[in-house]
Structure 1
Amino acid sequence: MSENKEIINSSKAPEPVGAYPHARKVGNLLFLSGVGPRERGTKKIPGVELDENGNITSYDIETQCHSVFNNIRYILEDAGSSWDKIVDVTVFLTNMKEDFKTYNRLYALYFKENQPCRTTIEINCLPTPIAIELKVIATID
């Protein structure tokens, strides 16, 4: 008996930066690839200012958080799931000391009704010049 392993790409979330889909459905679980704050169809990253060499000169973690959460919502909805069906979140921050407090406050607002399991990890950098990325698992009917 083979399981259904459906690949899902959102028409609203930013295009993946590598050879991976936005999500995969396996049984009644939806696994999202890492999602950052980029905007679809543009190189613009909300809340990030870059110099001419592509290096971060300044960033606003609050703006990035809102954008990441919106991108996740787009993928979930395009896949046939929803925000309230998120069961697990892994968060990658590039500056835990400076950004955790703001991120944690916003996270509490977005996940007030639904409180999935969560792991937050500080990492050195991400593949694009962003300060936050989320990896999400949700249920899907």
Structure 2
Amino acid sequence: MEMINTENAAKPLGAYPHARRVGNLLFLSGIGPRSAVDNSIPGLEQDAEGNIIAYDIAAECHSVFANVKAVLEASGSSWDKMVDVTVFLTNMKKDFPIYNKIYGEYFSNVQACRTTVEVISLPTPIAIELKVIATID
């Protein structure tokens, strides 16, 4: 089993790799939209106490997809090799229509299996996280 980390995606928040290869399968840890450059969350506005004032689900979608792509490529895989995607949203009712539209733009040729679930919160003040399984030739 090979563990993969890349500087081109946001650093993991704990003791886990970006991805792990087992045979010809690649398992990505939960990947969020934090910037690989400065750890910021695109479109996020917080008050002095760290409460979310506003966030931009579209900006977070584009950023999380870029992070997933970076991990896939660092692992020797690619966007078109995804076979299963689990998406975690913190506000299904508000964010699903925008997320689903953007997802369709990125995944129209991939046709990976997908599960989307709502969660109360994620470890940082992000609105979306992806868990991916892909293949490696």
Normalised by the size of structure 2, how large is the TM-score? Answer: 0.98
Residue among 63, 68, 74 paired with 2:70: 74
8 A contact 1:8–1:23 mirrored in 2: yes
Alpha-carbon deviation of 1:11?
A: 1.7
One-letter identity of the residue aligned with 1:59: Y
One-letter identity of the residue aligned with 2:123: P
CA distance in 2, matches of 1:133, 1:83: 16
Unaligned runs of 5+ in 2: none
Query: Where does residue 30 of structure 1 map in the other structure?
Result: 26
Query: Where does residue 95 of structure 1 map in the other structure?
Result: 91
CA distance in 1, matches of 2:53, 2:67: 24
Normalised by the size of structure 1, how large is the TM-score? Answer: 0.95
Query: Where does residue 134 of structure 1 map in the other structure?
Result: 130
Query: Where does residue 123 of structure 1 map in the other structure?
Result: 119
Query: Where does residue 84 of structure 1 map in the other structure?
Result: 80
Unaligned runs of 5+ in 1: none
Give CA-to-partner distance per residue, 1:75-107, whole Å, 9 cap, x none. 000111000000000000000000000000000
8 A contact 1:10–1:74 mirrored in 2: yes
One-letter identity of the residue aligned with 1:61: I
Q: Percent identity?
A: 65
CA distance in 2, matches of 1:67, 1:82: 17
RMSD: 0.8
Residue among 4, 7, 13 paired with 1:11: 7
8 A contact 1:11–1:78 mirrored in 2: no
Q: Does 1:57 align with 2:64?
A: no
8 A contact 2:10–2:39 mirrored in 1: no
One-letter identity of the residue aligned with 1:87: V
